[in-house]
């Protein structure tokens, strides 16, 4: 956020295309007033103070959590609503079996009805934003119109919002249109509609992050994945992390894991004391835009400027960087509070909650004090491990891509794909237990290809074809790996300690990328042998490590059959190369 500059052209006059669209949204929704966001610190502070005065935000303990606030959402509005999220393409096949589809005409009519007069008595906020560094050719812009000041505040943290973004739009024209209203927060009148062919998003009836901060999942993944296909790049649900080895070599790795599987923790990993000399730099924690570069490598930017992370479980042991980062200038959503007004969540070893996330006196019998999907919103530059290259307009070169899921069994701790094509199959086959980030049953295993099941804006079959095409253009393609930090023993206990120790697995991958480490071939790909992992200082018995690195052919034959059934549900659009790779795997499993 920049400092306000006097005597500038009013934002409402900078871009004719934006002004015309805002005017049509104003005529439809009939707000009491329109406010264009400049994106300055002063504006952010002023808006925050107003929301505190109006009782919409609670100011938290200023001594321990300076400039931190709490927002309590409507209890029916705490997660993404995948069943109410639609891709509205002219042809149903283009949205694919992986998406809910609605005819664009029907969707437009439905949304027109909902938006009609919905902002009466409210302020309409216009937020021009840029996803990615303002001066990067890899960035793309959008404008969100919303009647939620909470959404406006979040967008100001999560994106480069305000004048600079609008100047970029005015300079080169294109922008994604996002219209949002909280409506009456009625779960029965809640829809998140995407019109990729028109680069438009319409979201009604929810104020929750993934449904309402339209720059994030709606633009940077669903619409951007569509744009990326037509422009030859990839928009992915991936963190980006830089790892500097004790020898001083830095590699960047991009990792796709389903929601609430530890992407933020991995992006901010603290190396274990027993692996001295490693440094970790966060580029992004949730979304990566990956572009083939002129040098044949894949270059990545993080389109976001902040983190909208899951709070429970964050503590100095699991993620010291995140814990430090959220102690000031942070907007908390749906956490509990202590008697002296400090935020509290499950996983903190100190403090006692007195008020739960709904603002009621805390009673353990009524469930957790903080909502399991309670969140922090904080600027990325507050992260102690923020990479100096995160703002680089060229992005960072990617050495390895990593897919992963939350699986009690089947998937070993780590394996490497045989090549790019096999890697696309590995990504397409990701399965994971569901989490609290989306409404629905938690802990059920579902296929979540490339961790994009809720986020791919078009038919997965076409998406996998696009992945294969991007790979064929890369002279120096990243290696592709799969990890599973969540494997359990027969008693349900996690076998791998996770968190900082995940660096041991990443270090093996980087050694593979530089040709320095060995691996053993298996039916599913290449695995480290026990001696290939750096286990100095790791308190794990060899039996556990062997179990973590084991591939059970019988379980995998069943897995292959499941994957085949899943892939075949995409019919004739499915790239045959994926089935050929699957047959290859099956043959090698014996
Ligand atoms: C998120 C999600 O909020 O994936 O990042 O749900
Ligand atoms: Mn996510």
CATH 3.90.228.20-classified regions of the chain: 236-302+390-589
Q: Are 463 and 221 in contact (CB under 8 A)?
A: no
Q: What is the pLDDT of residues 92-135, one digit of tens each?
A: 999 999 999 999 999 999 999 999 999 999 999 999 999 999 99
User: What is the 8-class DSSP label of residue 450?
Assistant: G
Dihedral of the alpha carbons of 558, 560, 564, 566, in degrees to the nearest 10:
70
Q: Is the pLDDT of residue 545 over 70?
A: yes
Q: 317, 245, 237, 324: which is closest to 280 by C-alpha?
A: 245
For ligand 1, say whether the CB of 407 is within 6 Å of any of its atoms: no
> What architecture does CATH give domain 11-58+76-232?
3-Layer(aba) Sandwich (3.40)
Q: What are the residues whose beta carbons fall under 8 Å from the beta carbon of 17, sequence distance 6 or more?
A: 169, 173, 175
Residue 441's pLDDT band, with cuts at 50, 70 and 90, is confident
Average pLDDT of every residue of the chain: 96
Gyration radius of the chain over CA positions: 23
Q: What are the residues whose beta carbons fall under 8 Å from the beta carbon of 164, sequence distance 6 or more?
A: 2, 39, 130, 134
For ligand 1, say whether the CB of 178 is within 6 Å of any of its atoms: no
Q: 446, 450, 524, 513: which is closest to 255 by C-alpha?
A: 450
Measure 327 CA to ligand 2 centroid, in angstroms.
22
- Protein residue closest via CA to atom 2 of ligand 1: 259
Measure 504 CA to ligand 2 centroid, in angstroms.
24
Measure 567 CA to ligand 2 centroid, in angstroms.
24
In our burial notation (b when 16+ CB lie closer than 10 A, e otherwise), range 473-488 reads ebeebbbbbbbbbbbe
Q: Is the pLDDT of residue 3 over 80?
A: no
Measure 560 CA to ligand 1 centroid, in angstroms.
28
Region 265-276: mean pLDDT is 96
Q: Is the pLDDT of residue 390 over 90?
A: yes
CATH fold for domain 236-302+390-589: Phosphoenolpyruvate Carboxykinase; domain 3 (3.90.228)
How far apart CA 547 and CA 495 sit, in angstroms, is: 8
Q: 48, 75, 61: which is closest to 359 by C-alpha?
A: 75
CATH 3.40.449.10-classified regions of the chain: 11-58+76-232
Q: Are 41 and 381 in contact (CB under 8 A)?
A: no
Catalytic residue positions, numbered: 261
Residue 260's pLDDT band, with cuts at 50, 70 and 90, is confident
Angle (deg, nearest 10), helices 460-472 and 224-231: 40
Counting ligand 1 atoms within 8 A of each CB, the residue from 217, 221, 334 with the most, and so the one to mutate, is 217
Query: What pLDDT does residue 30 have?
Result: 98
Measure 453 CA to ligand 2 centroid, in angstroms.
11
Q: Are 159 and 304 in contact (CB under 8 A)?
A: yes
Q: What is the pLDDT of residues 4-62, one digit of tens each?
A: 556 789 999 999 999 999 999 999 999 999 999 999 999 999 999 999 999 999 999 99
CATH 2.170.8.10-classified regions of the chain: 306-382
Region 346-362: mean pLDDT is 97
For ligand 1, say whether the CB of 556 is within 6 Å of any of its atoms: no
For ligand 1, say whether the CB of 286 is within 6 Å of any of its atoms: yes
User: What is the 8-class DSSP label of residue 532?
Assistant: G
Q: Is the pLDDT of residue 501 over 90?
A: yes
For ligand 1, say whether the CB of 259 is within 6 Å of any of its atoms: yes
Query: Where do the DSSP E strands lie in 412-524?
Result: 414-416, 431-433, 445-447, 479-483, 520-522
For ligand 1, say whether the CB of 219 is within 6 Å of any of its atoms: no
- Protein residue closest via CA to atom 3 of ligand 1: 210
Counting ligand 1 atoms within 8 A of each CB, the residue from 216, 259, 376, 438 with the most, and so the one to mutate, is 259
For ligand 1, say whether the CB of 194 is within 6 Å of any of its atoms: no
Percent of the chain with pLDDT over 90: 93
Measure 56 CA to ligand 2 centroid, in angstroms.
26
- Protein residue closest via CA to atom 1 of ligand 1: 259
pTM: 0.96
Query: What pLDDT does residue 306 have?
Result: 98
Measure 363 CA to ligand 2 centroid, in angstroms.
30
For ligand 1, say whether the CB of 77 is within 6 Å of any of its atoms: no
Q: What are the residues whose beta carbons fall under 8 Å from the beta carbon of 438, sequence distance 6 or more?
A: 79, 80, 81, 82, 259, 454
Q: Could you identify the atom of ligand 1 that is nearest to the CA of residue 237?
A: 4
- Quick one: residue 185, left, alpha or beta (phi over 0 = left, psi -120 to 50 = alpha)? left
Q: Are 87 and 100 in contact (CB under 8 A)?
A: yes
Q: Is the pLDDT of residue 1 over 70?
A: no
Q: Could you identify the atom of ligand 1 that is nearest to the CA of residue 258?
A: 4
Q: What is the pLDDT of residues 208-251, one digit of tens each?
A: 999 999 999 999 999 999 999 999 999 999 999 999 999 999 99
Residue 516's pLDDT band, with cuts at 50, 70 and 90, is very high
Q: CATH code for 306-382?
A: 2.170.8.10
Measure 572 CA to ligand 2 centroid, in angstroms.
30
Q: Are 196 and 226 in contact (CB under 8 A)?
A: yes
Region 282-307: mean pLDDT is 98
For ligand 1, say whether the CB of 284 is within 6 Å of any of its atoms: no
How far apart CA 505 and CA 545 sit, in angstroms, is: 12
Q: Could you identify the atom of ligand 1 that is nearest to the CA of residue 259?
A: 4
- For 552-587, the DSSP string reads -HHHHHHHHHHHHHHHHTTGGGS-HHHHHHHHHHHH
Q: Is the pLDDT of residue 542 over 90?
A: no
How far apart CA 233 and CA 451 sit, in angstroms, is: 17
**What is the number of the ligand closest to the CA of 309?**
1
Query: What pLDDT does residue 458 have?
Result: 98
Backbone φ, ψ for residue 21 (5° rounding): -70, -40
Q: Are 345 and 355 in contact (CB under 8 A)?
A: no
- Protein residue closest via CA to atom 4 of ligand 1: 259
Query: What pLDDT does residue 534 have?
Result: 95
Instruction: Assign 3-state DSSP to the chain and report helix, strand, coil percentages, each to 5.
Output: 35, 25, 45
- For 146-186, the DSSP string reads ES-HHHHHHHHHHSEESHHHHHHHHHH---EEEEEE-TT--
Q: What are the residues whose beta carbons fall under 8 Å from the beta carbon of 195, sequence distance 6 or more?
A: 88, 89, 104, 107, 108, 201, 202
For ligand 1, say whether the CB of 333 is within 6 Å of any of its atoms: no
Q: 363, 322, 357, 329: which is closest to 343 by C-alpha?
A: 357
User: What is the 8-class DSSP label of residue 424?
Assistant: H
For ligand 1, say whether the CB of 210 is within 6 Å of any of its atoms: yes
How far apart CA 233 and CA 577 sit, in angstroms, is: 20
How far apart CA 165 and CA 134 sit, in angstroms, is: 7
**What is the number of the ligand closest to the CA of 209?**
1
**What is the number of the ligand closest to the CA of 310?**
1
**What is the number of the ligand closest to the CA of 237?**
2
Distances (CA, A) of 453 to 46, 87, 266: 39, 13, 21
Query: What pLDDT does residue 8 have?
Result: 87
Q: How many C-beta atoms lie closer than 10 Å to residue 215's C-beta?
A: 31
Backbone φ, ψ for residue 559 (5° rounding): -60, -45
């Amino acid at each position: 956020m920049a400092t306000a500059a006097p005597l500038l052209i009013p934002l409402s006059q900078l871009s004719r295309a934006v002004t015309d669209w805002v005017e049509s949204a104003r005529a439809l929704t009939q707000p009491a007033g329109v406010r264009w966001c400049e994106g300055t610190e002063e504006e952010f502070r002023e808006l925050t103070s107003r929301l505190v005065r109006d009782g919409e935000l609670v100011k938290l303990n200023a001594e321990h959590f300076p400039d931190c606030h709490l927002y309590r959402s409507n209890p029916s509005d705490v997660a993404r609503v995948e069943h109410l999220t639609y891709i509205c393409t002219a042809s149903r096949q283009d949205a694919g079996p992986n998406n809910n589809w609605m005819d664009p005409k029907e969707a437009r009519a439905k949304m027109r009805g909902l938006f009609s007069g919905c902002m009466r008595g409210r302020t309409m906020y216009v937020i021009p934003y840029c996803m990615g560094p303002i001066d990067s050719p890899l960035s793309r812009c959008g404008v969100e119109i919303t009647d939620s000041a909470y959404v406006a505040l979040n967008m100001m943290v999560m994106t480069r919002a305000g004048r600079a973004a609008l100047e970029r739009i005015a300079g080169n024209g294109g922008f994604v249109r996002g219209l949002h209203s909280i409506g009456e927060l009625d779960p029965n009148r809640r829809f998140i509609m995407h019109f990729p062919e028109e680069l438009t998003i319409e979201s009604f009836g929810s104020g929750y992050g993934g449904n309402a901060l339209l720059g994030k999942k709606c633009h940077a993944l669903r619409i951007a994945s569509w744009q990326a296909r037509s422009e030859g790049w990839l928009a992915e649900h991936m963190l980006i992390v830089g790892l500097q080895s004790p020898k001083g070599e830095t590699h960047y790795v991009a990792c796709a894991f389903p929601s609430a599987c530890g992407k933020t923790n991995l992006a901010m990993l603290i190396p274990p004391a027993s692996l001295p000399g490693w440094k970790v730099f966060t580029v992004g924690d949730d979304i990566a835009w990956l572009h083939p570069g002129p040098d044949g490598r894949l270059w990545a930017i993080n389109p976001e400027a902040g983190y909208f992370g899951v709070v429970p479980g964050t503590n100095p042991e699991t993620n010291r960087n995140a814990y430090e980062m959220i102690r000031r200038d942070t907007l908390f959503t749906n956490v509990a509070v202590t008697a002296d007004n400090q935020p509290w969540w499950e996983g903190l070893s100190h403090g006692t909650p007195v008020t739960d996330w709904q603002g009621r006196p805390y009673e353990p019998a009524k469930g957790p004090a903080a909502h399991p999907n309670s969140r922090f919103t904080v600027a990325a530059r507050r992260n102690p491990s923020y990479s100096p290259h995160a703002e680089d307009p060229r992005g960072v070169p990617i050495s390895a891509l990593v897919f992963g899921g939350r699986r009690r069994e089947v998937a070993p701790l780590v394996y490497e794909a045989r090549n790019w094509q096999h890697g696309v199959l590995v990504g397409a086959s990701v399965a994971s237990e569901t989490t609290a980030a989306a409404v629905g049953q938690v802990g059920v295993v579902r296929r979540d290809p490339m961790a994009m099941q809720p986020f791919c804006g078009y038919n997965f079959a076409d998406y996998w074809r696009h992945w294969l095409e991007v790979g064929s253009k890369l002279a120096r393609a990243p290696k592709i790996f799969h990890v599973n930090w969540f494997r359990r023993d027969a008693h349900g206990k996690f076998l791998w300690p996770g968190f900082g120790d995940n660096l041991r697995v990443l270090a093996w991958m980087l050694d593979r990328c530089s040709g320095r480490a060995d691996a053993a071939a298996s039916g599913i790909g290449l695995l480290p042998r026990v001696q290939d992992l750096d286990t100095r200082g790791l308190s794990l018995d060899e039996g556990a490590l062997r179990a973590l690195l084991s591939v059970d052919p019988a379980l995998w034959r069943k897995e292959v059959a499941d994957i085949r059934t899943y892939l075949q549900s995409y019919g004739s659009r499915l790239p045959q190369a994926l089935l050929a790779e699957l047959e290859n795997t099956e043959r090698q499993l014996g």
